[in-house]
Amino acid sequence: MSFSLKGRTAFITGASRGIGLEIAKALAKRGANVAVAAKSAEPHPKLPGTIHTAVEEVNQIGEETGSGAKGLAIQLDVRDAKAVEDAIEQTVGKFGHLDYAVNNASAINMKSTVEASPKALDLMLSINARGTWLVSRYALPHLLNSNGANRNPHILTLGPPLTHDTFTTNSSTGCWPEQFAATKSAYTLAKGGMALVSLGLSAELQGKVGVNSLWPYTLIGTSAMKVVSPNADVEEKRWRSPEIVGEAAARMMEEDGRTFNGQWIVDELWLRRKHGFTDEQIRQYSLGGPDVKMEDLALDLWISKSLQEDVAKARRGD
């Protein structure tokens, strides 16, 4: 059974650009109102997009598609508990209810442990793990009301899959040591913390709110990735558009949250196995064009060898 998103309300952190913006746009196409919550109220010298331009895109989608979707721009630092609470209340005051909370905001610093500073660790923990907890905490009273009104509430977190094969030190099935050597200890702790918040919430809220995590199979070509990556003009040919994550996220919201809960979703697998996406449809998200072989795409972080085998089977139709 697929639930309609029309008339629902989503609160998305880090939605001024990149993956957060694409999730906002995918929800808007389906008729959901979106609170765009991010720090970027003024143009960045290197990164395009602000909360205001994102809302303009949401409103334009609502008008052009006839979905009726509206946007709300909220400047927010997810480290500030009072600001998070006020932003949630502002969203409910504007749209009357809250149905989806999307934890997308994240900080990244993959310096080695001996080079990393405690300040960098504190920043990542406060935005990634603590920010996810704060947004979920203050969204929950309204999401539980949404459950009572049969509006199918969800919490979605952009966090890595917490499976045995992700975190095992068995190098034949997991992604250790290469991936963990790349992500280092501080970022592993902070990003893994987002997934742990999702895991705990899914157990607390089963049968009431669908709580799940979503992760991209390949590297995603956000504007930030293009800025921080050496030789981005060449490397981005092996990346995918953030639209694939937006499409997967929106389809997750259409699931029945009472039973669709505690899932670790990987975008390509989800779109292929659950929604029947073909090679042609998946290739449309390749920034290098449809001629780039899928096996040549750059894998995202924490993609275990067993997960790679599963994706290979899905590509063969198994």
Q: Catalytic residue numbers?
A: 187
DSSP per position, 46-91: SS---HHHHHHHHHHHHHHHS----EEEEE--TT-HHHHHHHHHHH
CA–CA gap between residue 31 and residue 33 (Å, rounded): 7
Smallest CA-to-CA distance from 19 within 152, 215, 197, 153 is with: 215
Residue 68: CB partners within 8 Å, gap ≥ 6? 6, 7, 31, 62
> Are 252 and 154 within 8 A, CB to CB?
yes
Question: b vs e for 290-314, b when ≥16 Cβ sit within 10 Å of the residue's Cβ?
Answer: eebebeebebbbbbbbbbeebbeeb
Residue 79: CB partners within 8 Å, gap ≥ 6? 126, 127, 130, 131
Sheet with 9-13, edge to edge strand ranges: 71-75, 33-38, 9-13, 100-103, 154-157, 210-215, 264-266
Structure-block tokens of residue 189: 């702790």
CA dist list (Å): 45 to 40, 53, 97: 11, 15, 35
DSSP 260: S
Query: Strand, coil or helix: what is 183?
Result: helix
Residue 275: CB partners within 8 Å, gap ≥ 6? 251
